[in-house]
Structure 1
Amino acid sequence: MGVSQKWFKFVRGKFLKSSSNRDIILPRKSACSDSSNHSEESILRNETFSFQDLSSVEVLTKEDIAAIKIQAHFRGHLARRAYRALRSLVKLQALARGVYVRNQVRIALDCMRALVRLQVRVRARQLLGACNHDSRVM
């Protein structure tokens, strides 16, 4: 955990040192901003605008943007790791099921062989019994 904290502090320090203007104004994407009288470009160009125009503008610092990017990358990393774990779990399940199915097939074949041997004995007895019975009659 210490390594990740050092990395985060390093990245945060770089953003803090390099940001002379720390506030960035981004337009908020919503239905109310489309229906307003002023376009987003005019809001960003003009320094004076009404209180109604503030509802369509969101102020984000560079730290906020950096935090959002870091969170997005970390969530992507977690998703990739979860997908890899899920993929390996599916492979492991397939392997285990394959072993189980092969054992079932082996047992079923052994039972079929036993039934075939029993059937051969019964047929042989029937044929021998029929031959012995015919020879006694004559």
Structure 2
Amino acid sequence: MAGALSLFGALRRSFSKSSCKTVSVIDNKQMVLKPMLEKSDVVSSSPSNSYRPRFSAISIEDAAAIKIQAHFRGHLARRAFRALRSLVKLQALVRGVCVRRQARIAVHCMQVLVRLQVRVRARQLLSSSGHANLS
């Protein structure tokens, strides 16, 4: 419940600091004029695209709905990110265990190879010294 209260508090604060300054009345309904960028109809000589501002009328209720949706979607995204972050930590823990097991197996195999090389080298030395004693 505390999360919901903080979400509504954030919504209330964002409504009090609204960035929409222009309000007009059309057909007994309050409308907010929001600037939008639209590609200019005039062909410019410069290679860059030229944009000119255009105003779109959005009702106060629509603007409020848009703000509520934006805040709620942000809330859901933050919650999903937190869950993903904990999942990544769990994956790192499991992968660490797997890597340590692989390292232990590799060290064991290398020890076996070293012991085998020592045996082969000792056998070569014994056989070469045995030929030296015969001659």
Q: Measured at CA, do residues 90 and 132 of structure 1 come closer, stay the same or move farther in structure 2, by a change above 3 Å? A: same
The answer for the alignment partner of 2:73 in structure 1 is 75
The answer for the alignment partner of 2:59 in structure 1 is 60
Q: TM-score, normalised by structure 2?
A: 0.58
Moved over 3 A (4+): 63-66
Q: Measured at CA, do residues 125 and 57 of structure 1 come closer, stay the same or move farther in structure 2, by a change above 3 Å? A: closer
Deviations 1:68-121 (CA, angstroms, capped at 9, x unpaired): 332222111101011112212222222222221111111111111000000000
The answer for the alignment partner of 1:90 in structure 2 is 88
Please state which structure has a larger fraction of its residues in helix.
1
Q: Retained in 1: the 8 A contact 2:33–2:56?
A: yes
For 1:40-51, what aligned pairs fall within 5 Å after superposition? Answer: none
Give me the identity figure in percent. 60
After superposition, the CA RMSD in angstroms is 3.2
Name the larger-Rg structure: 1
Q: Retained in 1: the 8 A contact 2:32–2:58?
A: yes
Q: TM-score, normalised by structure 1?
A: 0.57
- Mapped to 2, the partners of 1:127 and 1:68 lie a distance apart of 86
Count of residue pairs the alignment pairs up: 99
Any stretches of 5+ residues in structure 1 without a counterpart?
12-21, 33-54
**Residue 31 (structure 2) pairs with residue 25 (structure 1):** yes
Any stretches of 5+ residues in structure 2 without a counterpart?
12-27, 39-53
**Which of the pair has the greater relative contact order for Cα pairs under 8 Å at 6+ separation?**
1
